[in-house]
Amino acid sequence: MKLLLVLPILIPLTTAAFCLLFWRHRAIQRLLGTLGSTAHLVAALLLLWFVRQDGIFAIQVGNWPAPFGITLVADLFSAIMTVLAALMGLTVVVYSLASMDSGRESSGYYAFFHFLLMGVSGVFLTGDLFNLYVWFEVMLMSSFVLLALGGERHQLEGAIKYVTLNLISSALFLTALGILYGMLGTLNMADLSRQISDGMHAGVISTLSMLFLVAFGIKSALFPLFFWLPASYHTPPVAVSAIFAGLLTKVGVYTLIRVFSLLFAQDIAYTHTIILVIAGLTMVTGVLGAMAQNEFRRILSFHIISQVGYMVLGLGLFTPLALAGSIFYIMHHIIVKTNLFLVSGVARRLQGSYQLNQLGGLYQAAPALTIIFMISAFSLAGIPPLSGFWAKLILVKASLDITAYLIAATALGVGLLTLFSMAKIWAAAFWGDPPQTTAAGVGQVHLPLKASEKIALYLPMVVLGLLTLTIGFMSAPFFELATHAADQLLDPAAYIHAVLGRVK
Partner 1 sequence: MEILAAIVVGGLFGCGIYLLMSRSPVRLIIGLVLLSNAINLLIFTAAGLIRGKVPLIPPDSLRAVEVTADPLPQALILTAIVISFGVLAFALVLFSRTFKTTSATTLDEMKATDT
| Residue 132 and residue 255 in contact, taking contact as beta carbons nearer than 8 Å | yes
Nearer to partner 1, 231 or 259 (CB): 231
Q: Does 401 interact with partner 1 (rule: CB under 8 A)? A: no
Judged by CB under 8 A, the stretch of 91-99, 152-160, 372-380, 453-461 that binds partner 1 is: 152-160
Residue from 1, 17, 21, 171 binding partner 1 (CB under 8 A): 171
Scan residues 208-227 and list those touching partner 1 (CB under 8 A): 227
Judged by CB under 8 A, the stretch of 46-54, 69-77, 136-144, 412-420 that binds partner 1 is: 136-144
Residue from 49, 101, 103, 178 binding partner 1 (CB under 8 A): 178
| Residue 305 and residue 229 in contact, taking contact as beta carbons nearer than 8 Å | yes
Residue from 137, 267, 453, 487 binding partner 1 (CB under 8 A): 137
Judged by CB under 8 A, the stretch of 112-120, 150-158, 445-453, 479-487 that binds partner 1 is: 150-158
Q: How many residues does the chain have?
A: 504
Closest alpha carbon to 231 in 156, 181, 170 = 156
Residue from 104, 219, 297, 298 binding partner 1 (CB under 8 A): 298
Nearer to partner 1, 12 or 230 (CB): 230
Q: For residues 345 and 362, what is the distance between their CA atoms, to the nearest angstrom?
A: 13
Q: What DSSP element (H or E) covers 72? A: strand 71-74
Torsion of CA 234, 237, 240, 246, to 10 degrees: 40
| Residue 421 and residue 287 in contact, taking contact as beta carbons nearer than 8 Å | yes
CA distances from 84 to 8, 79, 251, 436 (A): 12, 9, 11, 40
Q: For residues 168 and 253, what is the distance between their CA atoms, to the nearest angstrom?
A: 17
Closest alpha carbon to 337 in 314, 371, 308, 368 = 308
Binding mask 9-38 for partner 1 (x = CB under 8 A): ------------------------------
- Rounded to a whole number of angstroms, the CA Rg of the chain reads 22
Q: Does 161 interact with partner 1 (rule: CB under 8 A)? A: yes
Q: Does 235 interact with partner 1 (rule: CB under 8 A)? A: yes
Q: For residues 290 and 447, what is the distance between their CA atoms, to the nearest angstrom?
A: 31
Residue from 15, 126, 188, 293 binding partner 1 (CB under 8 A): 293
CB of 68 to partner 1, least distance (A): 9
Nearer to partner 1, 34 or 155 (CB): 155
Residue from 160, 210, 412, 463 binding partner 1 (CB under 8 A): 160
Residue from 35, 174, 274, 449 binding partner 1 (CB under 8 A): 174
Q: Does 267 interact with partner 1 (rule: CB under 8 A)? A: no
DSSP 8-state symbol, 199: T
Q: For residues 196 and 261, what is the distance between their CA atoms, to the nearest angstrom?
A: 12
CB of 36 to partner 1, least distance (A): 24
DSSP 8-state symbol, 503: -
DSSP 8-state symbol, 128: B
Nearer to partner 1, 151 or 477 (CB): 151
3-class DSSP state for residue 74?
strand
Nearer to partner 1, 22 or 227 (CB): 227
Nearer to partner 1, 138 or 485 (CB): 138
What residues pair up with 295 in beta bridges, in sequence order? 355
CB of 148 to partner 1, least distance (A): 6
Q: For residues 378 and 468, what is the distance between their CA atoms, to the nearest angstrom?
A: 10
Q: Does 167 interact with partner 1 (rule: CB under 8 A)? A: yes
Q: For residues 491 and 316, what is the distance between their CA atoms, to the nearest angstrom?
A: 17
Tell me which residues touch partner 1 (CB under 8 A). Answer: 130, 133-134, 137, 140-141, 144-145, 148, 151, 153-154, 156-161, 163-164, 167-168, 170-171, 174-175, 178-179, 181-183, 185, 227, 230-232, 234-235, 289, 292-293, 298, 302
